[in-house]
Structure 1
Amino acid sequence: MIFTVIITLLVAALTHTECKVTNPNVQQDSTIRSGEEYLDSEQSYLLKWNVSLTEKRIYFEVTANTTGYIGFGISPTGGMAGADIFIAGVHPNGTEYSSDATVRVIYAMGETDDLVFHGPNKGTKSINFFLEDASFDSEGYDSFDLIAKSEMPAQDTTYWCTLHKVPAFSEKQHVVAFEPVLKGSLALAHTHHFTLFKCVVPDNINADELFGPFVESGEGHHCFENPNNFPTSYCREQAVYGWSKGGKWTIFPSNVGYPVPDKLNRNEYYSIETHFDNPRNLSGLVIESGIRAHYTKELREHDAGLLIVNHDTSPVLTIPPNSKNFIVSGHCSSACTENELPEDGVTNFNNLFHSHLAGRKMKLRHFRGNNELSWVDVDDQYDFNYQQNKPLSTYVKVERGDQLTVECTYDISKNLDDKIVVGGLSTREEMCEAVLWYWPKTELIVCGSSKNSPAISSNWSNKSCM
């Protein structure tokens, strides 16, 4: 039986950050944020919500496929301790009951109306109630797929690269939405993230001859152990799109599109770098995942660009043993933006934070001269399993000479091995980066903190373009 419970949560203080550039897609008098999410993998427990900024209330609606009770709660950690929990149900005689109690969300379902331990019918999931639910009307748009079908290597961490070609367009198109494609439970369980890179070759190399055979065969290879005849070395500099665990669609504002191809008869080849997470070293598993790009020939006002602000992913990023609230920062310096941004600056409209299992909080700070402006973005409840491309309700203008700093807070105080955690590609190692969508597109792709020498003990610049 399916039944629905309506819950109202009074929010003591709902605030938002004042910024400079207004999102043309959000009405200024709009006070409602809404969305919905299945909380369990079987899609038996559906949570819907409306946030009213005017009333300072959040309205929840839970629909569950069960003949017993429904449990719902707001938890600071994902557990029951310290959580606000609401329980409701319908007795066999048709009368309703509920608990008196009125952000990781936790949930539970009982097989009967007896309030006993819920067994395996429970879980937790992070949700940002202030994000608009991602919805895209594909009518009137075309699409193409860049999807790889690969056997996951039987090792803890693999970065697997495949080559793809977009359709041969006779004129520039604008991609208006990227849809992640993860086919089946294996893809969802083992795909940590993937990144789409544009492949660019020198004028004296024929791209069709170089990449074509690998596109036709579907052959893939370890990204950083490639033999000379697997040419992804031409495909590592220009990131186009990224998806991380828990993420959804990336939908561009109505005045922005990503150009494909950016040069006719060139740059038609792309590489997908997929991070497979396989801590049990399982073998023989075939993973099918990738990207569906929705596009139009009706060009929009601006070309979109992607910028990664980060700290170098290497042992230079070191978290001491048993650390709690340990902060690492990566800086895109004022010198970089002064040299690389256009005269009128750029407009940031969407962000994604990315770190690994030790990440707890993330923040993107914004400086102009000697002043710190409002934070571009902040997530004080960062969850490795909930990494969303976040549309900004109010856009942020980044001017020449501004500095952007990504700040990552880590906690390894509960690790039992008393070891350091260093920067690296594995989910058991760490990263610290913010991925920004902006317009107009520039040639600046990565801007962050890195060392100048292979020797960790050498001096390095912590404010350098990369």
Structure 2
Amino acid sequence: MLVRQGRPEVDAGRQCISNPTPKAQSEGLRLGVQAFDLKMIRKAASLILLLALIACSNALTQSAYLDGQERFYIEWEYTDTNITILARVNTTGWFGIGFSSNGGMAGADIITASVVNGTALLQDRYAEKNGYPAVDNSQDVELLFGSEVDGVTTIKFTRKHNTCDDKDRIVGTDTMRVIYAISPDGTDNLSYHTPYSRGAKSIYLRRKFVAKPAMPDDAFTYEIKANDVEIDAYHTMYHCQLKRAPKFSTKHHLIKVEPLIEEENKGLVHHVVIYACYDAVDREHYFDGNNTSFDCLVQANMPPDVYSCKTPITVWGVGGGPMYYPEEAGFPFGDEDSPDYIVMEMHYDNPQLLSGRRDSSGFRLTFTPTLRKYDAGILTLGAVHGIAIPPKVKDFTSSGFCTNTCTQRIALNTHESKFGE
């Protein structure tokens, strides 16, 4: 196995990456076969391949499918300075992966890869507009491994979070739009990918991991799942289901929330939210008529007494994992203020317009009857009806206003101001 790529140099003082020589990009790795006999060459080749396979076999800490057809799979992990990504793609041709501000190609930082005659190729590129991405003069990616086996191309590479290259995007600590493209004809010639061979996914690449707290001996779980939802062959779909809330004879604390995303639909489920209905409205007639599922992309599709359930209890988005409440707090269930009903909102992102897919993803909730010191709560801030940012503006301010009716309900201990006046 041969690898070819540009090898950037690091300026330790600035921690920025200088431009490699064009020769480094074009020559790649050469083996001086004249110095070895055939037996030694075979042993060396076997050793190189074995070491490469070992280096690639260790799974990285996080993973995701970028597409609904599960053709583009990635694993990744990061350090204080670098991110390492392994891409495993169902193709015998080229593929591309990149970072974008809005999920589009214009302005994106792009990396293209392929394996040609056993040689792995990796190039750092950028796109100033929708079209053929240009090769970056500063090759800021380091190829670690590459192979093509049984129609699957695997590439592993690393790069700095901040390369100090204005053609590269910084891999920050917020959610990023990861874009991808796959050769439509299985060839290694970089060409137009067609609308059905590309897409984008929002991923929290630098999600911080915390130590998993031990669960108490009396903890138990309760699962809330979608009821075999048929996913529309449409770019985006919001599906809401009314459900009865967990009921207990005494007060309990919710202490852990774990997403249960079906493996075959990890490329389609974008986010899941559970809202509580904090009122005394009887909604049993929806269950009597087996009418608990709604298209909730727009308000008009939902009954008012279902749409009014807008207090979030928990939420999951792409790149997220289990959520643990602080050891001194839990979200209360089972007391007189607990909700009788909840609404689970599922958002499906289906840019390939796949049909015939069904989903029963959801959450596993962990409760304990042993109450913690504090009741946890959720404070939601922001614009209620979404944020519309005008095009081509240099900056934009989104404002939200709380009336005194709202702020009087907030218990805030402060000597500087008094809410509600």
TM, length-normalised to structure 2: 0.53
How far apart are 1:188 and its partner, in Å? 4.2
Q: Distance in 2 between matches of 1:334 and 1:13?
A: 50
Q: For residue 310 of structure 1, what is the aligned residue in structure 2?
A: 382
Structure 2: unaligned runs, 5 residues or longer: 17-59, 125-138, 141-175, 351-355
- 1:148 and 1:162 in contact (8 A); partners too: no
Q: Which residue of 2 aligns with 1:374?
A: none
Contact 2:258–2:364 under 8 Å retained in 1: yes
Within 1, Cα distance between the matches of 2:277 and 2:191?
54
The answer to whether the 8 Å contact 2:96/2:112 transfers is yes
CA distance in 2: counterparts of 1:271 and 1:36, whole angstroms: 30
Structure 1 residues 319 and 300: CA distance shift in structure 2, 3 A:
same
Does residue 294 of the first structure (1) align with residue 366 of the second (2)? yes
Structure 1 match to 2:62: 35
Structure 1 residues 184 and 9: alpha-carbon distance in aligned structure 2, compared to 1, 3 A threshold = farther
Q: Map 1:55-134; keep pairs closer than 5 Å.
A: 56-92=81-117, 94-99=118-123, 101-102=139-140, 103-110=176-183, 111-119=186-194, 120-132=196-208
Give 1:196's aligned residue. 275
1:341 aligned counterpart, secondary structure:
coil
Q: Is the Cα–Cα contact under 8 Å of residues 254 and 365 in structure 2 kept in the other structure?
A: no
CA RMSD of aligned residues (A): 5.5
| Structure 1 unaligned regions, length at least 5 | 15-32, 202-206, 346-367, 370-399, 403-463
Deviation at 1:306, TM superposition (A): 0.7
Can you list the C-alpha shifts for 1:90-126, whole angstroms capped at 9, x where unaligned? 333x333333633433323332333444444333333
> 1:40 is matched by which residue type in structure 2?
D
Superposed, 1:248-397 pairs within 5 Å as: 248-249=320-321, 251-255=323-327, 258-263=330-335, 267=338, 269-272=340-343, 274=345, 290-313=362-385, 324=393, 325-331=395-401, 340-343=410-413
> Within 2, Cα distance between the matches of 1:8 and 1:71?
20
Q: Secondary structure at the match of 2:314?
A: strand
Aligned to 2:246: 166
Aligned to 1:452: none
- CA gap of 1:157–1:66, structure 2 versus 1, over 3 A, is closer
Q: Which shows bigger deviation, 334-343 or 78-87?
A: 334-343
What is the number of equivalent residue pairs in this alignment? 310
Contact in 1 for aligned 2:250/2:334 (Cα 8 Å): no
**Quick check: which one's helix share is greater?**
2
Quote the offset at 1:307 in angstroms: 0.9
- Distance (Å, rounded) in 2 between the aligned partners of 1:9 and 1:253: 44
Change (3 A) 1:95 1:199: same
1:288-322 deviation digits (Å, cap 9, x = unpaired) = 565432333454443221111133539xx8877x6
1:179 aligns with 2:259: yes
- The percent of aligned pairs where both chains have the same amino acid is 22
Give, in angstroms, the shift of residue 197 of structure 1.
0.8
Deviation at 1:177, TM superposition (A): 0.9
Give the AA of the match of 1:267.
S
Label 1:9 to 1:295 Cα distance change in 2 as closer, same or farther (>3 A): farther
Aligned to 2:34: none
Residue 217 to residue 251, structure 1, CA distance change in 2 (3 Å): farther
Cα pair 1:145 1:293 within 8 Å, conserved = yes
SS at match of 2:243: strand
Contact in 2 for aligned 1:175/1:296 (Cα 8 Å):
yes
The one-letter amino acid of 1:219's match is N
Q: Normalising by the residue count of structure 1, what TM-score does the alignment of the two structures yield?
A: 0.48
- Cα pair 1:104 1:126 within 8 Å, conserved: yes
Residue pair 1:89, 1:97 contacting (<8 A) in 2 also: yes
SS in 1 for 2:221: strand
Q: Deviations over 1:203-243 (max 9, x none)?
A: xxxx9xx4556446643276977999x9659x737442345
Counterpart in 2 of 1:50? 77
Task: Tell me how far apart the structure 2 counterparts of residues 38 and 80 of structure 1 sit (CA, whole Å).
Answer: 19
Q: Distance in 1 between matches of 2:9 and 2:205?
A: 12
- The separation in 1 between residues aligned to 2:267 and 2:182, in whole angstroms, is 26
Partner-residue secondary structure (3-state), 1:309:
coil
For residues 134-173 of structure 1, the aligned pairs below 5 Å read 142-149=220-227, 162-173=242-253
Q: Offset at 1:334?
A: 10
- Say which SS state the counterpart of residue 385 (structure 2) adopts: coil
Bigger radius of gyration: 2
Distance in 2 separating the partners of 1:249 and 1:259: 18
Distance 1:131 1:306 in 2: 21
SS at match of 1:308: coil
Higher strand share: 1
